[in-house]
């Protein structure tokens, strides 16, 4: 069986999850990406959020070696048995959950596939550049814990 995650702002429609789930026969976790070739952005975030998000993603990849282009896209599916093995190690609960989740999968030698997604920004979204300093602080603490 499968466990899925989504952002509350409904940027990813249900049909996109079916596309992700089709790859769970070959990968342990499949995540959506707004930054891989083939992704379609129907309505983008404001430029300053795109910029800060890009810098944040580069920092995450530097600290954790994930080699993932879009850690913060909320659409993720994982095989239930894999999730049950990593869930006890998950620490973070806020916007930084995605980094913790992906890092624990990688540290446990499970596979992650990043797939292009059709995505649309909701102007009512709670994503804000003011959140990023705390996000950065939380992921640095996570990395220091090992």
What tens-digit pLDDT sequence spans the chain (146 residues)?
999 999 888 899 999 999 999 999 999 999 999 999 999 999 999 998 899 999 999 999 999 999 999 999 999 999 999 999 999 999 999 889 999 999 999 999 999 999 999 999 988 776 766 777 888 999 999 999 98
**Spatial distance between the Cα atoms of 11 and 118, rounded to a whole number of angstroms:** 8
In the 8-state DSSP scheme, what is residue 130? G
DSSP label at residue 89: G
């Amino acid at each position: 069986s499968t466990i899925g995650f989504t952002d509350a702002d409904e940027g990813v429609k249900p049909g996109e999850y079916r596309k992700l789930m089709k790859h769970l026969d070959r990968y342990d976790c499949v995540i959506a990406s707004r930054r891989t070739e083939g992704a379609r952005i129907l309505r983008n975030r404001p430029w300053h959020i795109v910029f800060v998000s890009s810098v944040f993603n580069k920092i995450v990849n530097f600290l954790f070696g994930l080699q993932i282009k879009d850690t913060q896209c909320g659409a993720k599916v994982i095989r239930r048995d894999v999730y049950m093995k990593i869930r006890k190690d998950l620490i973070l609960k806020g916007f930084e959950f995605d980094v913790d989740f992906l890092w624990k999968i990688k540290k446990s030698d499970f596979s992650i596939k990043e797939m292009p997604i059709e995505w649309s920004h909701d102007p009512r979204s709670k994503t804000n550049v003011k959140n990023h300093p705390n996000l950065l602080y939380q992921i640095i603490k996570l990395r220091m814990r090992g």
